[in-house]
Amino acid sequence: MDRAVPGHRHQLGRACLQPARRRDPRRARSQTATDQHLTRRHGIVPLRMPTMSKSVLHTSLCDDLKIEYPVFLAGMGVKGNATPPKLVATVSEAGGMGILGCSWLDADEVRRRIRAVRNLTDKPFGVDLLLPASMDESSVPDRAEMRARIERDFPKQAAFGKSLSEKFGLKPVQSQLAAMSPEFIRRQVDVCLEEKIAVFAAGLGDPGWVVPLAKQANMKVMGLVGNVRNAERQKKAGVDYVIAQGYEAGGHTGTIANFPLIPMVVDAVAPTPVIAAGAIADGRTVAAGLALGAVGVWVGTAFLLAEESNIFPRHQEEIIKGAAEDFIITRAYTGKTARDYKNDVIKAWDESGLKTLPMPLQGVLMDDFIAAAEAANRAELINNPVGQIAGMLKQKRPAKEIMMSMVHGAEEVIERLSAMRK
């Protein structure tokens, strides 16, 4: 099983068969003045791990990024609501890496949030942005042009979009979301470079143009994919890590499940290391991602139930009460396949029989309705991007507790598997 394979996989094979080291609880009992300041002022209790031994989960990625555990907080949410600075900082303080979701935030707000994280931790963290398919300015129409096109070319869909507010008793509101133009994206990326963050992750799009800029700033670049074709494209672009996200994941997702996807991507992009994403929420799933050849895991849904998260309480309730089959694939909100909690808006779209508009037109079609639902505090009408693993999540917890339960659980799984060889 431990055949001659690329270096990061070979190292992982040894790690998975190595018993977890026991920790001496007498170490790290005292806090530094910085720790005390973080605890007193911000409510974050920094984690200081023993320096004499490393976790069995400590992969090559940990050394590269200067973190203790190969666990990432996925950069989630429109305008970063799912990943506020306190959540990002808490995950980084616990030994993983927090990622700020900054899609649709203007450059000044991206900078403000980066600095807010820095006020809470001196540990590495990153930023996740959605990139357009093309950075050609002329290829991206503004929102007014897209609205006009929908009215002209898709009158039935336009009428449906307008009818939603009336159907659900909402006062019409016009969305203030910024246009995701190449210039808007460039300003966001410039801030990431200027602020010298550790990691830049592209949740959508091709980050190839960011790679040479990132190398000059000593910033690592990651690209998220759902199939081998796009993984090979990311490798060719020169990213430092490929994030392979399976069909089980929440939000925008592909059609291939993790068990086939991750090893196929690992083989296709070697020696570029791979991070596993989708349906990872406890020690068993962390260990499974590593066993499939990944050097780290990208965790979203589990952290939506963190006490530090900032999503709608109604959405957290849907996660806690929902069964795995309640989180379904739809194109209703964005035009791209996404896994969301089932609701009456998705049902209304499906029953309309209308053809979904291509991305980004479908998103523009739905933007005003979502803005109206937000203004009325009708969270049950707003898309709740959540993965199938939500079926096993039943309570809110502090982010540090979520993080460490995954770490210790994975260590126990690896120790148990190692014991089976004896």
Q: How many helices (H) and strands (E) does the chain have?
A: 17, 11
Same domain, 114 and 191: yes
Same domain, 359 and 292: no
Same domain, 241 and 364: no
- Coil/strand/helix, residue 161: helix
pLDDT at 306 over 50: yes
Mean pLDDT, the chain, whole residue set: 88
- Counting beta carbons within 10 angstroms of the beta carbon of residue 218, is it exposed (0 to 12), middle (13 to 18) or buried (19 or more)? exposed
Is 38 inside a domain boundary? no
Same domain, 185 and 320: no
Cα angle 278-279-282, degrees, rounded to a multiple of 5: 125
Is 422 inside a domain boundary? no
Same domain, 374 and 404: no
pLDDT at residue number 30: 42
Is 36 inside a domain boundary? no
pLDDT at residue number 10: 34
Dist. CA 411–CA 286, nearest whole Å: 9
95: which 2 tokens?
A: 């030994």
Which residue range forms the structural domain that includes residue 147? 139-176+315-381
Q: Supply φ then ψ for residue 205, to 5 degrees.
A: 90, 180
What's the CATH number where 269 sits? 3.20.20.70
Same domain, 202 and 272: yes
Is 276 inside a domain boundary? yes
pLDDT at 310 over 60: yes
One DSSP character per residue, 345-404 reads HHHHHHHHTPPPPPTTHHHHHHHHHHHHHHHTT-GGGS--B--GGGGG----B-HHHHHH
Closest CA to 15 of 421, 290, 227, 266: 290
Is 386 inside a domain boundary? no
Closest CA to 178 of 259, 260, 106, 89: 106
Dist. CA 345–CA 382, nearest whole Å: 8
Chain segment 176-211, per-residue pLDDT in tens: 887 778 888 999 999 999 999 999 999 988 899 999
Q: Are 294 and 276 in contact (CB under 8 A)?
A: yes
Is 20 inside a domain boundary? no
pLDDT at residue number 28: 42
232: which 2 tokens?
A: 């090979």
pLDDT at residue number 54: 81
Q: Are 317 and 393 in contact (CB under 8 A)?
A: no
Dist. CA 93–CA 308, nearest whole Å: 13
Q: Are 256 and 229 in contact (CB under 8 A)?
A: no
**Beta bridge partner(s), residue 243:** 224, 275
pLDDT at 328 over 90: yes
Which of 27-36, 81-90, 138-147, 269-278 has the least mean pLDDT? 27-36
Same domain, 76 and 88: yes
One DSSP character per residue, 234-268 reads HHHHT-SEEEEE-TTSSEE--S--HHHHHHHHHHH
Is 41 inside a domain boundary? no
Dist. CA 18–CA 59, nearest whole Å: 12
Dist. CA 3–CA 223, nearest whole Å: 27
pLDDT at 21 over 50: no
Chain segment 108-150, per-residue pLDDT in tens: 999 999 999 999 999 999 999 988 766 665 556 778 888 999 9
Same domain, 270 and 404: yes
Q: Is the dihedral of CA 412, 415, 416, 417 positive or negative?
A: positive
Same domain, 352 and 409: no
Same domain, 248 and 354: no
- Counting beta carbons within 10 angstroms of the beta carbon of residue 325, is it exposed (0 to 12), middle (13 to 18) or buried (19 or more)? exposed
Same domain, 117 and 261: yes
> How many domains does the structure of the chain reveal?
2
**How far from chain centre, in Å, is Cα 215?**
22
pLDDT at residue number 134: 64
> How does strand 220-225 pair with strand 199-204?
parallel
Chain segment 250-285, per-residue pLDDT in tens: 999 999 999 999 999 999 999 999 999 999 999 999
Same domain, 120 and 212: yes
